[in-house]
Amino acid sequence: MVGAKRHDVNLPGFGVVPVYASAKVGRAIDEVSGELDLYHGVRLMEILEAVYVQGLTNGRAEVFEAHEEQARQLRAREDLKHRNAGRPPKR
Protein backbone atom coordinates (compact mmCIF):
# COMPACT_ATOMS: atom_id res chain seq x y z
CA MET A 1 0.00 0.00 0.00
CA VAL A 2 1.32 3.42 -0.94
CA GLY A 3 0.51 6.66 0.86
CA ALA A 4 -1.04 7.47 4.16
CA LYS A 5 -3.96 5.58 5.63
CA ARG A 6 -6.36 6.68 8.35
CA HIS A 7 -6.09 4.98 11.75
CA ASP A 8 -8.63 5.91 14.40
CA VAL A 9 -7.14 6.13 17.90
CA ASN A 10 -9.63 6.41 20.75
CA LEU A 11 -8.45 8.95 23.34
CA PRO A 12 -10.76 9.01 26.37
CA GLY A 13 -10.49 12.77 26.90
CA PHE A 14 -10.87 13.74 23.23
CA GLY A 15 -12.82 10.92 21.59
CA VAL A 16 -11.65 9.31 18.38
CA VAL A 17 -8.63 11.03 16.82
CA PRO A 18 -7.84 10.20 13.19
CA VAL A 19 -4.13 9.55 12.62
CA TYR A 20 -2.92 9.54 9.03
CA ALA A 21 0.22 7.45 8.82
CA SER A 22 2.24 5.43 6.36
CA ALA A 23 1.78 1.67 6.23
CA LYS A 24 4.78 1.02 8.48
CA VAL A 25 3.75 3.53 11.15
CA GLY A 26 0.12 2.44 10.85
CA ARG A 27 1.04 -1.18 11.55
CA ALA A 28 3.00 -0.03 14.60
CA ILE A 29 0.03 2.01 15.88
CA ASP A 30 -2.35 -0.90 15.35
CA GLU A 31 0.06 -3.36 16.96
CA VAL A 32 0.78 -1.22 20.01
CA SER A 33 -2.82 -0.17 20.57
CA GLY A 34 -4.26 -3.59 19.71
CA GLU A 35 -3.98 -6.01 22.62
CA LEU A 36 -2.72 -4.25 25.70
CA ASP A 37 -3.29 -4.95 29.35
CA LEU A 38 -4.93 -2.19 31.35
CA TYR A 39 -1.73 -0.63 32.71
CA HIS A 40 0.09 -0.38 29.38
CA GLY A 41 -3.09 0.74 27.62
CA VAL A 42 -3.52 3.63 30.04
CA ARG A 43 0.14 4.58 29.69
CA LEU A 44 -0.12 4.53 25.89
CA MET A 45 -3.24 6.71 25.98
CA GLU A 46 -1.47 9.21 28.27
CA ILE A 47 1.44 9.44 25.84
CA LEU A 48 -0.80 9.78 22.79
CA GLU A 49 -2.92 12.40 24.54
CA ALA A 50 0.18 14.41 25.46
CA VAL A 51 1.47 14.23 21.88
CA TYR A 52 -1.96 15.27 20.55
CA VAL A 53 -2.23 18.25 22.90
CA GLN A 54 1.35 19.30 22.07
CA GLY A 55 0.50 19.09 18.36
CA LEU A 56 -2.53 21.32 18.88
CA THR A 57 -0.38 23.83 20.76
CA ASN A 58 2.39 23.80 18.15
CA GLY A 59 -0.13 24.08 15.33
CA ARG A 60 -1.77 27.09 16.94
CA ALA A 61 1.62 28.71 17.50
CA GLU A 62 2.54 28.23 13.83
CA VAL A 63 -0.74 29.81 12.72
CA PHE A 64 -0.34 32.80 15.04
CA GLU A 65 3.29 33.28 13.96
CA ALA A 66 2.28 33.19 10.29
CA HIS A 67 -0.39 35.82 10.89
CA GLU A 68 2.01 37.98 12.90
CA GLU A 69 4.50 37.86 10.01
CA GLN A 70 1.79 38.95 7.57
CA ALA A 71 0.69 41.74 9.91
CA ARG A 72 4.30 43.00 10.16
CA GLN A 73 4.60 43.04 6.38
CA LEU A 74 1.36 45.00 6.03
CA ARG A 75 2.39 47.55 8.68
CA ALA A 76 5.68 48.11 6.86
CA ARG A 77 4.01 49.10 3.57
CA GLU A 78 4.00 52.85 3.02
CA ASP A 79 0.84 52.89 0.91
CA LEU A 80 -1.16 51.31 3.75
CA LYS A 81 -0.08 53.69 6.53
CA HIS A 82 -2.90 54.79 8.81
CA ARG A 83 -3.84 58.44 8.70
CA ASN A 84 -6.18 60.14 11.10
CA ALA A 85 -9.36 61.54 9.66
CA GLY A 86 -9.48 65.27 9.10
CA ARG A 87 -8.88 68.02 6.64
CA PRO A 88 -6.38 67.05 3.94
CA PRO A 89 -3.07 68.93 3.94
CA LYS A 90 -2.81 72.09 1.78
CA ARG A 91 -0.77 71.87 -1.36
Q: What is the pLDDT of residue 82?
A: 65
Of the candidates 1, 19, 2, the residue with the CA atom closest to the CA atom of residue 10? 19
d(CA 67, CA 73): 10
The backbone torsions φ and ψ at residue 33, rounded to the nearest 5 degrees and listed phi first, read -90, 0
Q: Side chain identity at 3, as an amino acid letter? A: G
pLDDT tens string 32-90: 777 667 787 778 778 778 888 888 888 877 877 888 888 788 777 777 666 667 777 78
Report pTM. Answer: 0.44
